[in-house]
Chain A
Amino acid sequence: MSKASSPGAADTFPRLLLEHARTRPEKTSIREKDLGIWQSWTWAQVADEVRALALGLSALGFQRGENLAIIGDNRPQLYWAMAAAQCLGGVPVPLYQDAVANEMIYILEDADIRIAVVEDQEQVDKLLEIKDRLPKLRAIIYEDPRGMRNYAQPYLHLYAQVQERGRGVHREQPDLFDREVAQGADSDVSIMLYTSGTTGKPKGVCQTHAALMAAARGACQFDRLDASDEVLSYLPMAWVGDNLFSYAQALVAGFTINCPESGDTVMTDMREIGPTYYFAPPRVFENILTQVTIRMEDAASIKRALFRYFLGVARRCGAQILDGKHSVAFLDRLRYAVGNFLIYAPLRNVLGMSRVRVAYTAGAAIGPDLFRFYRSIGVNLKQFYGSTETCAYVCMQPNAQIKLDSVGPPAPGVEVKIAGTGEVLVKSAAMLSGYYKRPDATAEVFDEHGYFRTGDAGYFDQDGHLKIIDRAKDVGKLTNGAVFAPNFIENKLKFFPYVKEAVAFGHEHDRVCAFINIDLGAVGNWAERRGLAYSGYTDLAANPEVYALIQDCVSKVNAELAADPMLADSQVHRFLVLHKELDPDDDELTRTRKVRRGFIADKYAALVAALYSDVSSCYVETEVKFEDGRKGKISANVRIGNASTLAIDQQTGIPGSRGPEVPSRKSATA
């Protein structure tokens, strides 16, 4: 790459921004749907907005090296705030916008936040609620003035007014901004992202411009992304993926990012934009497929039959055709072409995936059937592997080398090796410079040769693709010594549209048991269809027919597990449907919606004990937090279901049915 002319010459994100404003001033940089219309800003306009905000921030006393909190949905103004902080040599710290006020205290305090840029009244209210406990916080800048009329606090500032002030500064000192940008170095910290805190308190991961840019450049070249691409930015800004896809890569490649109108309109907005480059965690792909499945069940019988037939065709040959393999029979190609005309293309269009060239998923294991579904209908869905600490850039699946259960070979410029313990170790340029104010934790995550310990257990397969099985610390053992990978089992359960979350227990137990959260949408629809009345989640969860439905799912998973000699011992013997939905507000899930297994095991110790005894139901009372911060109690008599497991005949290795230990009807009527 020639260093002089291409945007590749700039070594910090602010310089990249100015470079784009110079080389492609009229090209659209960012869009937002507002008042029903897509509003756009060109690179030149964005540079101007960012400059105004940066100078306004500096007039408010924002200093080089200082951290700037950013809280809100994906809004252009908040992305500009990130750039503005970087222009001044500061560090943006995006927070999860749906976190309750109390959860924000720790991060705001830890990051020494003095100024926060927030989206609207909702976020302002949260900060005001905890302001007393944040002595350092001295200015809150809000973007949306609605409902803010009667707020008179002197430390509240309207975003547009801060920018106005910045424009004034620019008129007086026209070279101040350029001087500030010129002072930045690629070794400066460009962003600080807090880990989700699955284990202990969240830690601030510091990424330099150089590290993040290495990841962004590598990934852009890998998939040949350029300025013509379109991305939908709808995932939390506090998450490393959004940072990479919607900010770092957009600045490196110069492509356009699109902010949806609101969280509820993402599907519609996606269809209008038709992104070419798309990222979603498995849960989003899962929700989409659940929606499609539900809607197909409501469709006329001829449509249902067509859908089922062509999905069968796609399952057989769709993925191979996508990969350009020549082994597909002519007749199947013909069938697929007809299916593409009748079903796949219209379906892709409805999902907003007509133009998707590259789609990625990561963050959790994706069910193989789910993964295969998207690939078979012609969406080039791939997996990658990475974490906040590694700029989400460790392994990526190259086009046409897709495997369902691996995450691909190491990405260009990344060195990966497996430790003796089975833990995955990584070395690359795209690596954290350290945890904020935590040299002890930083020292802990690097081994003596400078490799980063990912904490994931995995191995390379014969083609050199990395296969992740579970978190290294989660992999346990049953009392008979068999390997117990809880995530693996949970993911298998979660693949059923009726199961929203699952928590498997088995470490140091003699058998595996599980908690299930039903999916209220899917099971509710199922119940309505059969005329089952229910008043809400708790009621539906306790329904005997729902238990029978879930029991069926669990038994199917058991059949799959039994087929693999390594995992046959991990079959789920007993399960229960939890009386409440697992919720990040109750600390049961992380903000990225991963189950906190240990916390749940402690909180529901009585239920776990019931699973491992032979009782058929257990009474529990659980405290829940409502969205407005009030607390309440849910109490329920939770039933315990038994699933049929398959025994492995030691001599022949052929599974034979052992049947439920206790007839399920008994527990259902208890």
Chain B
Amino acid sequence: MSTLPPTGRQIGDVLLGVEDISLSFGGVRALSGVTFDVRQGEIRAIIGPNGAGKSSMLNVINGVYSPQQGTIRFRGEARRGMNPQRAAAQGVARTFQNIALFKGMTVLDNIMTGRNLKMRATLLEQAIYLGRNQREELQHRAKVEEIIDFLQIEHIRKTPVGRLPYGLQKRVELARALASEPILLLLDEPMAGMNVEEKQDMCRFILDVNEEFGTTIVLIEHDMGVVMDISDRIVVLDYGRKIADGFPDEVRSNQAVIDAYLGVAH
């Protein structure tokens, strides 16, 4: 299943380069001159107070927003004219701050949608479930079952998503993102609104995904305990600017970060 040789965790070269990104909506500057990089195989956290521009940053990487200034380099190539679908085709998957699943569909079907980009059969073939589609469907189902097993959601395989508790829905969303076998996984507050036990489970799954599949992960999270525990490096944004970047220990003791979180007289 893994796309990497089974050698455990190894941080490689730069996978994603964010260079001097600025983004504004009318008069509001969401991001100004943000630069950082994400290395192959690492867990990279983006933190910052509310309105710091974290989700905007993720949306830029994901291709939802086009920045007015700056470049994004993915696997060494500068991207132009990006949109979410092309980003997905390149191997970027994401989960959302507010769960964005199909509530009326089963867990299994939701995760199958994550395989959509990999399906080659035509609409007609899919409609009559013949030939190429049948073969494909079986392959994709096998892959999806591996993910179901990995995230331990066998017992809800056939349950409509809308009937599940919040913590499990978050896990299903992660499963759908994984179904596309991403190179880069963007997680927007994967642990928001969870209880302690659910958070522990989610942490475990994020680490497992990173270790087992070698997936590079960029995550936004507010729970500092979690962030400091699981991320390799952390970027801190405040008012759209990068104010710190480094290993958890460095960030923890950084005065600018402390000020941003606790507030100082400007």
The judgment on whether A and B are partners is yes
Name A residues whose Cβ lies closer than 8 Å to a Cβ of B. 34-37, 146-147, 149-150, 261-262, 264-265, 268
Interchain CB contact under 8 A, B154 and A146: no
**Can you name the residue of chain B whose Cβ is closest to the Cβ of A628?**
B200
B residues in contact with A34, CB < 8 Å: 149
Interchain CB contact under 8 A, B212 and A36: no
Q: How far is the CB of B69 from chain A (nearest CB, A)?
A: 42
**Can you name the residue of chain A whose Cβ is closest to the Cβ of B2?**
A149
B residues in contact with A147, CB < 8 Å: 208, 211-212
- A34 and B148 alpha carbons, distance in the complex (Å): 11
B residues in contact with A35, CB < 8 Å: 142, 145-146, 148-149
Q: How far is the CB of A350 from chain B (nearest CB, A)?
A: 14
**Can you name the residue of chain B whose Cβ is closest to the Cβ of A34?**
B149
A residues in contact with B157, CB < 8 Å: 36
Q: Contacts A35-B142, A36-B148: A262 and B8 contacting too (C-beta < 8 A)?
A: no
| Contacts A36-B154, A261-B154, A264-B154 known; 14 new A-B pairs at CB < 8 A | A35-B142, A36-B157, A146-B150, A146-B212, A147-B212, A149-B8, A149-B212, A261-B155, A262-B152, A262-B155, A264-B155, A265-B154, A268-B155, A268-B158
**Can you name the residue of chain B whose Cβ is closest to the Cβ of A150?**
B8
- A552 and B150 alpha carbons, distance in the complex (Å): 46
Interchain CB contact under 8 A, B148 and A265: no
Interchain CB contact under 8 A, B145 and A265: no
**Can you name the residue of chain A whose Cβ is closest to the Cβ of B204?**
A147
Interchain CB contact under 8 A, B8 and A265: no
Q: How far is the CB of A33 from chain B (nearest CB, A)?
A: 8
A residues in contact with B27, CB < 8 Å: none
Q: Decide if B26 is an interface residue (CB 8 Å cutoff).
A: no
B residues contacting the other copy or chain, number (CB 8 A): 17
- A34 and B208 alpha carbons, distance in the complex (Å): 20
A residues in contact with B225, CB < 8 Å: none
Interface flags for B165-185 (1: CB within 8 Å of A; 0: not) read 000000000000000000000
Q: Decide if B263 is an interface residue (CB 8 Å cutoff).
A: no
8 Å CB contacts to A: which residues of B208-250? 208, 211-212
- A150 and B211 alpha carbons, distance in the complex (Å): 9
Interchain CB contact under 8 A, A36 and B155: no
A residues in contact with B150, CB < 8 Å: 146
Q: How far is the CB of A557 from chain B (nearest CB, A)?
A: 34
Q: Decide if B6 is an interface residue (CB 8 Å cutoff).
A: yes
Q: How far is the CB of A442 from chain B (nearest CB, A)?
A: 43
B residues in contact with A261, CB < 8 Å: 154-155
Q: How far is the CB of B83 from chain A (nearest CB, A)?
A: 34
A residues in contact with B6, CB < 8 Å: 149
- A97 and B8 alpha carbons, distance in the complex (Å): 28
B residues in contact with A264, CB < 8 Å: 154-155
Q: How far is the CB of A32 from chain B (nearest CB, A)?
A: 12
A-B contact count (CB 8 A): 34
Interchain CB contact under 8 A, A265 and B149: no
- A68 and B62 alpha carbons, distance in the complex (Å): 53
Interface flags for B125-165 (1: CB within 8 Å of A; 0: not) read 00000000000000001100110111010110110000000
Question: What are 16 A-B contacts with C-beta separation under 8 Å?
Answer: A35-B142, A35-B145, A35-B148, A35-B149, A36-B141, A36-B145, A36-B157, A146-B150, A147-B208, A147-B212, A149-B6, A150-B8, A150-B211, A261-B155, A262-B152, A264-B154
- A655 and B212 alpha carbons, distance in the complex (Å): 69
Interchain CB contact under 8 A, A149 and B211: yes
Interchain CB contact under 8 A, B154 and A262: yes
**Can you name the residue of chain B whose Cβ is closest to the Cβ of A267?**
B155
Q: How far is the CB of B20 from chain A (nearest CB, A)?
A: 38
**Can you name the residue of chain B whose Cβ is closest to the Cβ of A33?**
B154
A residues in contact with B208, CB < 8 Å: 147
**Can you name the residue of chain A whose Cβ is closest to the Cβ of B211?**
A149
B residues in contact with A262, CB < 8 Å: 152, 154-155
- A34 and B150 alpha carbons, distance in the complex (Å): 12
- A265 and B142 alpha carbons, distance in the complex (Å): 19
A residues in contact with B212, CB < 8 Å: 146-147, 149
Q: How far is the CB of A633 from chain B (nearest CB, A)?
A: 16
- A135 and B141 alpha carbons, distance in the complex (Å): 46
Q: How far is the CB of A563 from chain B (nearest CB, A)?
A: 43
8 Å CB contacts to A: which residues of B86-120? none
Interface flags for B61-101 (1: CB within 8 Å of A; 0: not) read 00000000000000000000000000000000000000000
- A404 and B134 alpha carbons, distance in the complex (Å): 53
A residues in contact with B152, CB < 8 Å: 262
Q: How far is the CB of A74 from chain B (nearest CB, A)?
A: 15
**Can you name the residue of chain A whose Cβ is closest to the Cβ of B9?**
A150
- A149 and B10 alpha carbons, distance in the complex (Å): 13
- A261 and B158 alpha carbons, distance in the complex (Å): 14
- A532 and B157 alpha carbons, distance in the complex (Å): 31
- A268 and B212 alpha carbons, distance in the complex (Å): 29
Q: How far is the CB of B4 from chain A (nearest CB, A)?
A: 11
Q: How far is the CB of A469 from chain B (nearest CB, A)?
A: 39
B residues in contact with A37, CB < 8 Å: 145
A residues in contact with B141, CB < 8 Å: 36
Interchain CB contact under 8 A, A265 and B155: yes
Q: How far is the CB of B148 from chain A (nearest CB, A)?
A: 7
Interface flags for B1-18 (1: CB within 8 Å of A; 0: not) read 000001010000000000
- A640 and B67 alpha carbons, distance in the complex (Å): 66
- A264 and B155 alpha carbons, distance in the complex (Å): 6
- A37 and B145 alpha carbons, distance in the complex (Å): 9
Q: How far is the CB of A630 from chain B (nearest CB, A)?
A: 11
- A294 and B157 alpha carbons, distance in the complex (Å): 22
Q: How far is the CB of A97 from chain B (nearest CB, A)?
A: 15
- A150 and B10 alpha carbons, distance in the complex (Å): 12
8 Å CB contacts to A: which residues of B11-63? none
- A36 and B154 alpha carbons, distance in the complex (Å): 8
- A290 and B142 alpha carbons, distance in the complex (Å): 35
- A304 and B150 alpha carbons, distance in the complex (Å): 40
**Can you name the residue of chain A whose Cβ is closest to the Cβ of B158?**
A268
- A36 and B108 alpha carbons, distance in the complex (Å): 11
A residues in contact with B211, CB < 8 Å: 147, 149-150
**Can you name the residue of chain B whose Cβ is closest to the Cβ of A266?**
B155
Q: How far is the CB of B165 from chain A (nearest CB, A)?
A: 13
A residues in contact with B154, CB < 8 Å: 36, 261-262, 264-265
- A146 and B149 alpha carbons, distance in the complex (Å): 11
- A268 and B152 alpha carbons, distance in the complex (Å): 15
Q: Give 3 nearest A-B pairs by CB, closest first.
A: A264-B155, A35-B145, A36-B145
- A116 and B149 alpha carbons, distance in the complex (Å): 25
A residues in contact with B158, CB < 8 Å: 268
A residues in contact with B155, CB < 8 Å: 261-262, 264-265, 268
**Can you name the residue of chain A whose Cβ is closest to the Cβ of B7?**
A149
8 Å CB contacts to A: which residues of B180-195? none
Q: How far is the CB of B142 from chain A (nearest CB, A)?
A: 7
Q: How far is the CB of A123 from chain B (nearest CB, A)?
A: 15
**Can you name the residue of chain B whose Cβ is closest to the Cβ of A147?**
B208
A residues in contact with B8, CB < 8 Å: 149-150
- A1 and B222 alpha carbons, distance in the complex (Å): 72
- A147 and B142 alpha carbons, distance in the complex (Å): 20
| Most A Cβ at <10 Å: residue of B142, B146, B154, B208 | B154
| Most B Cβ at <10 Å: residue of A35, A146, A149 | A35
- A34 and B145 alpha carbons, distance in the complex (Å): 9
Q: How far is the CB of B251 from chain A (nearest CB, A)?
A: 26
- A268 and B158 alpha carbons, distance in the complex (Å): 10
Q: How far is the CB of B155 from chain A (nearest CB, A)?
A: 3
Q: How far is the CB of A9 from chain B (nearest CB, A)?
A: 41
A residues in contact with B142, CB < 8 Å: 35
- A624 and B109 alpha carbons, distance in the complex (Å): 40
| Most A Cβ at <10 Å: residue of B145, B149, B211 | B149
- A146 and B208 alpha carbons, distance in the complex (Å): 9
- A262 and B141 alpha carbons, distance in the complex (Å): 19
Q: How far is the CB of B196 from chain A (nearest CB, A)?
A: 10
B residues in contact with A265, CB < 8 Å: 154-155
- A150 and B212 alpha carbons, distance in the complex (Å): 10
B residues in contact with A268, CB < 8 Å: 155, 158
- A313 and B145 alpha carbons, distance in the complex (Å): 44
- A174 and B146 alpha carbons, distance in the complex (Å): 37
